[in-house]
Structure 1
Amino acid sequence: MLHLRVLCPAESTERALEVLRAHPGATHLVLFPGAAVDPAGDVIEADVAREATDEVLAALCALGLDRHGGITLEQIDTALSDSADRAEEAAPGQAADAVVWEELLARTGEESRLNATFVAFLTIACLLAAVGVVTDSAVTLVGAMVVGPEFGPLAALAVGLVRRRADLVRRAATALLVGFPVAIAAAAVLTWLGNQAGWLDARAISGDHEVDFVYQVGPWSLVVAVLAGAAGMLSMTSAKSAALVGVFISVTTVPAAGYIGVAAVLGQWDKVLASAGQLGVNLVGIVIAAAVVLLTRKQAAARTRPLTRG
């Protein structure tokens, strides 16, 4: 369940209470008259079944409470209550299948912002990938995959496309279009410094190596990207974040970016192009799969609600 708190202007309190009383997925309703200071008004709290949250939020926003008051949500880890059990049973669908769109928009919106932290993590990930390439270390590449923060903007792109939010698409695209070139340039500088110091030469990526899969783009690259994108979005929409680690270490976005920097400095232009293709296939495959998952879940929710109301 999710804990809902509403800061509500006094003139809208009764209508907000009616919304929460009327929905079978809401319970543990509490009113604190006059408790809100800024913005001034009443405070309403309730526990809402996850599968009912989207409908409840839509009804509260229709009252203008997101503009003239405030609405917050928090995850409840444990709820020992027969009333809560009844609310979850009465709510449409299953909690694991429910998409709380406002929660998803807030989460992906935050993770898609271009800031120093995002660029730093992506740069460090690509530097690790460059080291993994020149040392032929698959373990180092896996570490780079885990560090890479690129799934946040990719998920935001999918959400923005499905919800037709141009601002979210623009913000996520900017993060990727700025972050990856900066990270690739950093990998190239590291490779150049290593080359100048005599630590490596073109033979470092010539011949057969364990990490050659990074630039070997093919049908399976797209298959893996699609599966990873689907798993990642399912994880985000069902609040099962543990699965995201598996997503991070199954796609070769960061390793491909790091390989571009290394191969460019060493003059291996065929591998630069192959790595760029690998990067593009993974990025596109993840976004498409994530968007399809969202559309599927959106349609499933639309079919469930009329049946429940009826």
Structure 2
Amino acid sequence: MLHLRAVCPIDRTDQVLAALKEHPGVAHVLLFRGAAVDPAGDVVEADLAREATDEVVDALCGLGIDRRGGVTLEQIDTALSDAADRAEEAAPGEGADAVVWEELIARTGEESRLNVTFLSFLTIACLLAGVGVVTNSPVTLVGAMVVGPEFGPLAAIAVGLVLRRGDLVRRAGLALAVGFPLAMLVTFGGAVVGSYTGLFDRDMVLAAHQADFVFEVGPFSLIVALLAGAAGMLSMTSAKSAALVGVFISVTTVPAAGYAAIAAVLGEWAICGMSVLQLGVNLVGIVVAAAAVLGLRNRRKRTRDLGRPLSHG
């Protein structure tokens, strides 16, 4: 279930209470009159079955609560209540199958920001991938896959394409367009230093047969990317975040970027080119599959724009 808190203008409180009480997927409605200071008004709280959340949020936004007050949602890990059980049973559909669109937009919007944290994680992941290539260590390559934060922007692009949210697509596209070249450039610099100091040489890298899968582009590269994109979007929309770890490990985006940087330092331009191609295939495949899954999640017709413009705060 999800916990909802709405800051309501006083003249809208009764309508908000009526909307919550009328929906069978709502439980534990609370009212705190005059509790809100800025903006001034009442505070209404309730617990929602996940599959009822979109309808309730729509109703509140239809009353202008998002503009004149505010609506927040929080995940409830445990709810011991007969009323909550009845609400989940009465709400149409299954909670695991429900897509909370505002939650998805907020999550992907946050994870697609171009900031120091995103760039740091992507750069560290690319450096780890470079070390994995040089040392012929699949374990290090897997570590680089897990550390890489690139699925967030890829998911945001898919959401933006399906919902026609150009702001999401632009923000996520910028994060990837800046992040990957920067991470590869830093890895290139580290590889130059390592090469000149004798940490590795050309023969050592080319003998790394266990890392060859990183740049070997073929039909399975696209198949894996499509499956990973589908699984990743299912994970995000069903709130089963644990499955994302498997998605991270299955795709070779970051390892391909790291291998491209190492190959460039060694002058192996064919391998460098194949690594960049592998990176592109994986990025495109993930977005296509994620968008396809999202489009098939029975998205109903909305009467208002989904989500407000993403803030820059």
Q: Calculate the TM-score normalised by the size of structure 2.
A: 0.94
2:4 alignment partner, SS class:
strand
Asked if the contact 2:4–2:47 (Cα under 8 Å) also holds between the matched residues in 1, the reply is yes
Cα deviation 1:249-285 (Å, max 9, x = unaligned): 0000000000010000100000011001100010001
Query: Which is worse superposed, 77-86 or 155-164?
Result: 77-86
Aligned to 1:120: 120
Tell me which residue corresponds to 1:30: 30
Partner SS state of residue 41, structure 1: strand
Query: How many angstroms apart in 2 are the aligned matches of 1:100 and 1:38?
Result: 27
1:248-259 alignment to 2 at 5 Å?
248-259=248-259
The structural deviation recorded for 1:300 is: 7.8
Q: Distance in 2 between matches of 1:246 and 1:28?
A: 36
Counterpart of 1:89 in structure 2 is 89
In structure 2, stretches of 5+ residues that fail to align are: 303-313
- Residue 170 of structure 2 corresponds to 170
Question: CA, structure 1 residues 301+242, in 2 after alignment: closer, same or farther (shift >3 Å)?
Answer: farther
Q: Which residue of 1 aligns with 2:294?
A: 294
Aligned to 1:280: 280
Match of 1:307 in 2: none
Paired residue secondary structure (1:298): coil
Q: Return the alpha-carbon distance in structure 2 between the equivalents of residues 148 and 10 of structure 1.
A: 46
Corresponding position of 1:15: 15
- CA–CA distance in structure 2, aligned partners of residues 207 and 77 of structure 1: 49
Give distance in 2, aligned partners of 1:183 and 1:131. Answer: 14
Aligned to 1:241: 241
- In 2: Cα distance, 1:143 partner to 1:64 partner: 46
The separation in 1 between residues aligned to 2:225 and 2:191, in whole angstroms, is 27
Structure-1 residue corresponding to 2:149:
149
Aligned to 1:308: none
Change in CA separation of 1:100 and 1:299 when aligned onto 2, cut-off 3 Å: closer
1:67 aligned to 2:57?
A: no
What amino acid maps onto 1:72 in structure 2? T
Distance, in Å, in 2 between the alignment partners of 1:173 and 1:201 is 35
Rate the CA distance shift 1:128–1:189 in 2: closer, same or farther, 3 A: same
Q: Tell me, in whole angstroms, the C-alpha distance in 1 between the residues paired with 2:65 and 2:298.
A: 24
Structure 1 pair 228–300 and aligned structure 2 pair: CA distance change class (3 A): farther
Distance in 1 of aligned mates of 2:54 and 2:23 = 12
Q: Amino acid of the residue matched to residue 296 of structure 1?
A: L
Q: Secondary structure at the match of 1:80?
A: coil
TM-score, normalised with respect to structure 1: 0.95
State the distance in 2 between where 1:298 and 1:191 align: 48
* Preserved CA contact (<8 Å) 2:135 2:205: no
Report the aligned-residue RMSD. 1.2
d(CA) in 1 for partners of 2:157 and 2:163? 10
Q: Matches of 2:49 and 2:206 in 1, distance apart?
A: 57
Equivalent position of 1:219 in the other structure: 219
2-structure distance, mates of 1:167, 1:39: 27
1:98 and 1:301 in contact (8 A); partners too: no
Q: Give the whole-Å Cα distance in 1 for the aligned partners of 2:292 and 2:19.
A: 32
Residue matched to 1:52: 52
Partner amino acid, structure 1, of 2:128: L
**How far 1:200 sits from its partner (Å)?**
2.0
Mapped partners of 2:43, 2:222: distance in 1: 49
Measured in 2, the distance between the counterparts of 1:4 and 1:56 equals 9
Partner residue, 2:311:
none
Residue-pair matches, total: 302
User: How far is the alpha carbon of 1:78 from its aligned partner?
Assistant: 1.3
Name the structure 1 match of 2:42: 42
The residue that corresponds to 1:306 in the other structure is none
Letter in 2 for 1:47: D
Establish whether residue 105 from structure 1 lines up as the match of residue 102 from structure 2: no
Equivalents in 1 of 2:276, 2:115: separation in Å? 24
CA shift at 1:298, angstroms?
2.9
Measured in 2, the distance between the counterparts of 1:298 and 1:153 equals 23
| Structure 1 gap segments, 5+ residues each | 303-310
Contact conserved, 1:202 with 1:267, CA < 8 A, in 2?
A: no
CA contact (8 A) 1:108 1:153 kept: yes
Query: Aligned-pair distance for 1:208?
Result: 5.8
Cα 1:17/1:300, change in 2 over 3 Å: closer
Q: For 2:295 and 2:196, locate their aligned partners in 1 and report how far apart those are by CA, in whole Å.
A: 51
For 1:214 and 1:91, locate their aligned partners in 2 and report how far apart those are by CA, in whole Å: 46
Match of 1:269 in 2: 269
% same residue: 70
